[in-house]
Amino acid sequence: MLAGAMTVALADLDDRQESAEIEAWVTAHPDSTPFHRPAWIQAVARGTRQKAAMLVCRHGGAIAGVLPLNRISSVLFGRALVSSGFAVDGGIIADDPAATQALADACWRQAERWGCTTAELRGGMLPEEGWTHKNDAYLGFSKPLEADDEAQLAAIPKRHRAEVRRGLDNQPDIQTGHEELLDVHYRLYAENVHRLGTPVFPKALFSNVLSAFGQDADIMVVSKDGVPVTSVISLYHRGRCMPYWHGASGQARALRSNEAAYFRLMSHARRRGCTMFDFGRSKIGTGPAAWKKTWGWEGVPMTYAVRAAPGHEVRDINPLSPQYRRKVELWKKLPLGLANLIGPHIARGLG
């Protein structure tokens, strides 16, 4: 442990020097994710009109831990303090348990100051006092990439390997780029989430993440006969490729373009120097979790820490929860144009 007093304070994210210091510390930390970066929470704030803050623990003036935060305000779902907003991870990273607990305590004090009735720490180092740990909702899927395409294909279980080959045999066109592909991606993403019965995120969220991450994010679009059918926005962090936002048309399943997209993305990640492929999280017992397992990825339970103010329940925004099942079915029946018009206003409160 470093000498000197331990302090926890909100960083001035408008101070370029302090923000750069935090970015450097985060990107050097072996347990960090893209969602710990100031770039992420600031992109979320700009793209969804929510608030960003970064708690920093210091020992003797040197950073000993960080906690990125987004205050998510919603007329429908209340106000929550989340680490990190619109992310699957982003909880506390710290040098020791004392710093972890200090950051968690400061987080709850901040939640009270901002009128949040609930707080959620997604992954990271978990506090022991005052918080409830939950690991019964999501699985995370991450696995090392193989040495080359041939080995990668051989590592896929036989039945799904045949599906991947079918997708590749269709000889799809593959494009990789940045914001010039955003319009195509957003159209496919909006179509995809509408089929699932969930509101589409604001396009500004994707635009701001791409802008903030620069070469650490990109878009892959898979087309057949000039028609885009699958798209993926991926994030890159410490040798890890994370396909994060996925779009697909109604023709994607028949063309096996999703299979082709992810296999080609693995090749693309390898060329970038990545050694890990992170499929992200999926709800336990769902089709997406089962699909990721067919690739040979095994799910690991993800543990979150949650806390609610006295007299309040922890916020539940999971579309698979029983209370939302009827709403999900009704949303699927909305015309796509109407869903895309009103969806972002709802979804900005789902982070």
What is the DSSP pairing of strand 173-177 with strand 217-224? antiparallel
Residue 24 CA, distance from chain mean position: 21
Q: Give the model's pLDDT for residue 324.
A: 64
CA distance 219 to 225: 19
Largest Cα span, the chain: 64
Contact 270/153 with Cβ under 8 angstroms?
no
Which residues, 6 or more positions from 27, have their beta carbon under 8 angstroms from its beta carbon? 37, 237, 238
Sign of the C-alpha dihedral computed for residues 326, 330, 331 and 333 taken in this order:
positive
Contact 218/178 with Cβ under 8 angstroms?
yes
In the predicted model, residues of the chain with pLDDT beneath 70 are: 1-4, 317-321, 323-324
Lookup result for tokens 């994210």: 13
Q: Give the model's pLDDT for residue 291.
A: 93
What are the tens digits of pLDDT across the range 290-332? 999 999 999 999 999 999 999 888 777 666 667 667 877 887 8
Q: Give the model's pLDDT for residue 1.
A: 43
Phi and psi, residue 124, nearest 5°: 70, -160
Between the alpha carbon of residue 103 and those of residues 91, 244, 345, the distances in Å are 10, 27, 31
pTM: 0.92
Q: Give the model's pLDDT for residue 206.
A: 98
In the beta sheet, which residues pair with residue 245?
233
DSSP string, 132-164: EEE-SSEEEEEEE--SSHHHHHHHS-HHHHHHH
